[in-house]
Amino acid sequence: MNIFNLLFTYEGRINRGKFWLAVLAYIVISVVIVMLLFIPILGWIAAAAGYIGMLVSGVMVGIKRLHDRDKSGWWIALFVGVPMVLGAAGAWINYQLEEDVTSGSMVLSLVSFAISLWGFIELGCLRGTAGQNQYGPDPLNQAA
């Protein structure tokens, strides 16, 4: 599997090792993007494009990990989309309402954290399905 297929397609399976290599790449890219933010205007445009690219790539890599766990790629909507929506809702609550609403935004934050933790364990810690599954052969059994 070449680097483009690893990072930008959703077909097939990847093991935890390739998943964590992708995460490491995202960390390095994030550091570069933060440095780009110091360049007026152009830096912000490059940073936005970089973050969008990382989001798309992260979803694709997550889908392949879910496939390795013999789960539908649609689970990524729970692990990525729901925490994003809950975070936005919590920020809106804190911004729009003048009164003390920390309990409502705290509940949203805790639910978001629980879902993110579940996704972390599911994608980054648990072994994939041994042998062939509906999404392809076991990536650990393929010849290097």
CB 62 within 8 A of CB 123: yes
Q: What is the value of pTM for the model shown?
A: 0.89
Residue 97 has pLDDT above 90, yes or no: no
- Comparing CA positions, the residue from 83, 58, 80, 71 lying closest to residue 6 is 58
pLDDT interval class at 69 (50, 70, 90): very high
Distance CA 123, CA 115 (A): 12
Residue 144 has pLDDT above 60, yes or no: no
pLDDT interval class at 106 (50, 70, 90): confident
Phi (first) and psi of residue 133, to 5 degrees:
-135, -175
Distance CA 144, CA 142 (A): 6
CA 109 distance to own-chain centroid: 17
- The string over 32-49, giving b where at least 16 C-beta atoms fall within 10 Å of a residue's C-beta and e elsewhere, is ebeebeeeeeeeeeebee
Residue 99 has pLDDT above 70, yes or no: no
